[in-house]
Amino acid sequence: MSAWETIIGLEVHVQLDTATKLFCRCAYEYGGQPNTQTCPVCLALPGALPVLNREALRLGIRTALAVGADVATHTKFDRKNYFYPDLPKGYQISQFDEPFCSGGAITIEFKDGSTKRIGITRIHLEEDAGKSTHRDTGGSVVDLNRCGVPLLEIVSEPDMRSPEEAYRYLTALKLTLRYIGVSDCDMEKGSLRCDANVSVRPRGQEAFGTKVEIKNLNSFRNVQRALEFEVARHTAALEHGSEEIVQQTRLFDATTGETRPMRSKEQAHDYRYFPEPDVPPVTIAGDEVEAIGATLPELPRAKVDRLATAHGLPRYDGWVLAEEPSVADYFEEAVAADAANDPKAVSNWVTNEVKRVLNEGTHTIDAFPIPSGALSGLIAMQRDGAVSATQAKEVFQGMLETGDDAPTVAKARGLEQLSDTDALETAVRAAIDACPKAVADVRAGKEKAKGAIVGHVMKQTRGKANPGVVQQLIDRVLAE
């Protein structure tokens, strides 16, 4: 065990999927023409007043309930003052000391099935800023479309002890957010952003080490890489005094895998928070919270638990299926379509073949050319020996291309396995006549020699004979 202990906390910003922005009626679509999705409110023109979009708060409450947090009965908004060219008001409307939500947790699961609870300190609502682009040719331009888009800031407790735990927390959090439909969580579009706080202390020491914040993390892998770099830097500083660790904000460079200083870390008082005078405090009624809770779907961990217990699946399979709720639904429909199929066999088909096709990006699960019942039919054909494993994959490909069911494709492409004993017996007898040496070897106890006879039958039937049936027939004929 290392003499040092790593402490990691994460701040995640998620853009909420509302029809309009947090305090005005502008719709926001990523990638729109710059400065076309704005109005006097989000442009901060004099006299324009914000009005809270209640739907954003409802999506926030939905998130709070999904992570088991407490929803406040009373909440308010505050001004966070700072200057930036993409922030026309000169302040951001955020929440300071009375967020709408506190507590809760995300449970992460490790490969060996063990789990750990990562606490959530608070979740609050705030508005997004615009986007500055600094041109290589000199000068900067600003796009204010993103100004006022609702953001949830989800702050974790400093409960993570390794970059890997941070990665797992982010993955689990994102999956939960996608399940409840509050955000598409697409990091490439900036709808999910993450800042990481990290410090290292001697194991056993209670006081935290000097904390560094890392920004510019555009993928979960990069969060992990940046943290690994920082942990190594802090540890070297503590062990060899290689440098002095100062509290600061650092930027991650994905090309070099290193971080570099950006600015000294600001303190809360630097922002001169004060209650937002233009947005009245908000009361949240118990029945509103209850009504939102009643619409929550089955959450990822509960789904994996159920897939494991109801269908006897390994948890690994459960997590692969649960990555997309509709893929898990497809699996369960396929299982229900034929009770004689082994659920693990169905899971193998869905997690391998179906997901492979989905990953190619030409088909979605909701409009998959092979309905769940048809996949179940194919699995039944393989189970009953009507097609071999190799033939089943070819039939699958045919079903994908034509939309026909498994028996139709198998017949049309001549992919049926010959299992008819009468038809095969003729071929087996011919093979036995044609391979006297192999027959003598089998009779002398060399089981392996049977392969030559099977091979002969396969050649005669162009690979369509059911090998299991052929083996049985060889035994029977030789025993005559």
List residues near Zn ion by CB under 5 A: 24, 26, 39, 41-42
* Least distance CB 14 / Zn ion (angstroms): 20
How many Å apart are CA 164 and CA 36, to the nearest integer? 41
Taking alpha carbons only, the member of 468, 448, 447 closest to residue 457 is 468
Q: Minimum CB separation from Zn ion for residue 59, in Å?
A: 18
Q: Tell me the closest approach of the beta carbon of residue 354 to Zn ion, in angstroms.
A: 42
CB of 12 to Zn ion, least distance (A): 25
Nearer to Zn ion, 41 or 432 (CB): 41
CB of 360 to Zn ion, least distance (A): 39
Min dist CB 128 to Zn ion, Å, is 12
Nearer to Zn ion by Cβ, of 124 and 146: the residue is: 146
- Give the number of other CB atoms < 10 A from CB of residue 310: 11
Strands (DSSP E) found in 82-191: 91-94, 101-102, 105-109, 115-127, 131-134, 140-143, 150-156
Q: Which residues contact 166 (CB under 8 A, 6 or more apart)?
A: 8, 10, 160, 196, 223, 224, 227
Amino acid making up residue 317: D
Helix, strand and coil content of the chain, in percent to the nearest 5, comes to 40, 20, 40
Number of neighbouring beta carbons within 10 Å of residue 108:
23
Cβ density class 189-219: b for 16+ within 10 Å, e for less: eebbbbbbbbbbbeeeeeeebbbbbbbbbee
Phi-psi region of 190 (alpha: psi -120 to 50; beta: other; left: phi over 0): left
Nearest Cα residue to 147 out of 129, 123, 167: 129
- What is the nearest approach in angstroms of Zn ion to the Cβ of residue 37? 7
Q: How far is the CB of 126 from Zn ion (least distance, A)?
A: 16
When the beta carbons of 148 and 398 are compared against Zn ion, the nearer one is 148
CB of 20 to Zn ion, least distance (A): 8
Residue number with CB closer to Zn ion (116 or 131): 131
Residue 252's beta-bridge partner residues? 259
CA–CA separation, 371 and 403 (whole Å): 9
For Zn ion, the closer of residues 146 and 233 by Cβ is 146
By beta-carbon proximity to Zn ion, the closer residue of 24 and 424 is 24
What's the rounded Cα separation, in Å, for the pair 171 and 108? 9
User: Least distance in Å: CB of 134 to Zn ion?
Assistant: 25
Eight-class DSSP state of 10: E
Which tokens is 159 given?
């409960």
Tokens of residue 255, six digits: 């090309």
Q: Are 174 and 299 in contact (CB under 8 A)?
A: no
**Of 34 and 467, which CB lies nearer to Zn ion in the complex structure?**
34
Q: With respect to Zn ion, which residue has the nearer C-beta, 25 or 203? A: 25
**Closest to Zn ion by CB, 20 or 248:** 20
Among residues 28 and 252, whose Cβ is nearest to Zn ion? Answer: 28
